[in-house]
């Protein structure tokens, strides 16, 4: 029996309030479907418009990387301090508690180990897994200028088609071959190609000169890649410069989990990214959190 709409006169339709049509907070993402925007909001903080992603997917081509030998021991305690986790499905299922509620950025390409040609990747996950693992985004490596450039771009475009069908954004990771020059010109090319061919956000390295031209010429959010372990002050300075020069956050691995005090470093990076803290101040924070931890464990 349908409910009788008897009290029509007493309903409140707020006729004096126009329905708002709020723009979505992320660059280049306004025309995406609700599900895609919702997933992006599990990665990027709608308040700051930025993200601190923790990258721990290194094992997919290089095995048990220093700092990742036991993800359950070294990484799980860091999870409260990141906005999203970049991870393979194997580590996700075996080592990450299913109570983790932030964005999962799933490594979706792979194949060769570091013993072979790294650009020779294929898509490494299917649609069912994406739903089953409740992922917020798919990460795929693109090797612009590499021996298997076209295949890696094709991997990305196929994932973009799949992601657009499912409402799952695709995160293109610009991989740079050893012999390639890491400059703004190269990254402008790689990031723009990724965005033009459908990537929803892009990971790329910071460069000393002209990084702001890389972010300006890419119509979707750019997230700074961490790279090899640096002294903490250098990593904090690089993160600070990247966000000031237009990056919508960072995706850092070794500079977090290979730090002497990973949780302290991650908290310092958060301040830099979300609150524009200056590198020196963030280093002070890192050092005081590290000292506190030493006191507790001694």
**Active site residues per annotation:** 203
Asked if 106 contacts 133 with a C-beta cutoff of 8 angstroms, the reply is yes
According to the binding rule CB under 6 A, does residue 279 interact with ligand R5P?
A: no
Distance of closest approach, residue 158 Cβ to ligand R5P, in angstroms: 19
Nearest to 168 by CA among 218, 196, 129: 129
Angle between helices 279-297 and 262-275 (to 10 degrees): 150
Indicate the residue among 112 and 167 with the shorter CB distance to ligand R5P: 112
138 class by beta-carbon count within 10 Å (0-12 exposed, 13-18 middle, 19+ buried)? buried
**Binding residue for ligand R5P (CB under 6 A) from 32, 78, 86, 91?**
86
Nearest-angstrom CA–CA distance, 79 and 141: 24
According to the binding rule CB under 6 A, does residue 163 interact with ligand R5P?
A: no
At 119, list the tokens: 């650009």
Pick the piece of the chain touching ligand R5P (CB under 6 A) from 40-48, 159-167, 246-254, 281-289. Answer: 246-254
Residues in the interface with ligand R5P (CB under 6 A) total 13
At 274, list the tokens: 């979300």
According to the binding rule CB under 6 A, does residue 78 interact with ligand R5P?
A: no
**Residues facing 45 on adjacent strands:** 50
Angle at 79 between CA 112 and CA 137, to 5 degrees: 50
Indicate the residue among 32 and 176 with the shorter CB distance to ligand R5P: 176
According to the binding rule CB under 6 A, does residue 225 interact with ligand R5P?
A: yes
According to the binding rule CB under 6 A, does residue 175 interact with ligand R5P?
A: yes
Which residues, at least 6 apart from 50, have a Cβ–Cβ distance to it below 8 Å?
44, 243, 247, 248, 249, 273, 274
Indicate the residue among 58 and 241 with the shorter CB distance to ligand R5P: 58
DSSP type of residue 116: S
Pick the piece of the chain touching ligand R5P (CB under 6 A) from 93-101, 180-188, 253-261, 284-292. Answer: 253-261
Q: Which residue is nearest to ligand R5P (CB)?
A: 226
Indicate the SS3 state at residue 222: strand
According to the binding rule CB under 6 A, does residue 89 interact with ligand R5P?
A: no
According to the binding rule CB under 6 A, does residue 262 interact with ligand R5P?
A: no
Asked if 53 contacts 256 with a C-beta cutoff of 8 angstroms, the reply is no
Per-residue contact flags (x/-) with ligand R5P for residues 96 to 135, judged by CB under 6 A: ----------------------------------------
Distance of closest approach, residue 4 Cβ to ligand R5P, in angstroms: 59
Q: State the Rg of the chain over Cα.
A: 21
According to the binding rule CB under 6 A, does residue 55 interact with ligand R5P?
A: yes
Contacting residues toward ligand R5P, per CB under 6 A: 55, 57-58, 86, 173, 175, 225-227, 252-255
């Amino acid at each position: 029996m349908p409910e009788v709409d008897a009290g029509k006169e007493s309903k409140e339709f707020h006729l004096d309030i126009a329905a708002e049509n709020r723009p979505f907070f992320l660059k280049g993402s306004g025309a995406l479907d609700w599900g895609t925007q919702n997933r992006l909001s599990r990665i990027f903080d709608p308040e700051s418009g930025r993200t601190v992603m923790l990258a721990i997917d290194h094992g997919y081509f290089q095995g048990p990387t220093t700092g990742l030998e036991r993800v359950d021991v070294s990484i799980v305690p860091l999870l409260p301090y990141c906005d999203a986790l970049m991870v393979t499905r194997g580590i996700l299922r075996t080592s990450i508690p299913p109570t983790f509620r932030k964005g999962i950025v799933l490594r979706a390409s792979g194949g060769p180990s570091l013993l072979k040609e790294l650009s020779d990747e294929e898509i490494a996950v299917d649609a069912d897994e994406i739903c089953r693992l409740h992922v917020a985004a798919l990460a795929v490596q693109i090797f612009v200028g590499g021996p298997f450039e076209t295949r890696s771009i094709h991997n990305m475009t196929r994932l973009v088609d799949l992601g657009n069908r499912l409402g799952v954004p695709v995160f293109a990771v610009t991989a740079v071959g050893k012999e390639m020059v890491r400059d703004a010109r190269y990254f402008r090319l790689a990031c723009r190609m990724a965005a033009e061919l459908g990537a929803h956000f892009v990971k790329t390295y910071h460069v000393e000169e002209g990084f702001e031209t890389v972010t300006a010429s890419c119509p979707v959010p750019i997230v700074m890649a961490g790279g090899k372990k640096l002294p903490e002050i250098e990593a904090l300075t690089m993160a600070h410069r990247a966000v000031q020069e237009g990056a919508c956050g960072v995706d850092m691995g070794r500079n977090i989990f290979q730090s002497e005090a990973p949780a302290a470093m991650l908290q310092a990076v958060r301040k830099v990214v979300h609150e524009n803290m200056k590198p020196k101040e963030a280093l002070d924070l890192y050092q005081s959190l590290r000292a506190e931890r030493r006191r507790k464990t001694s």
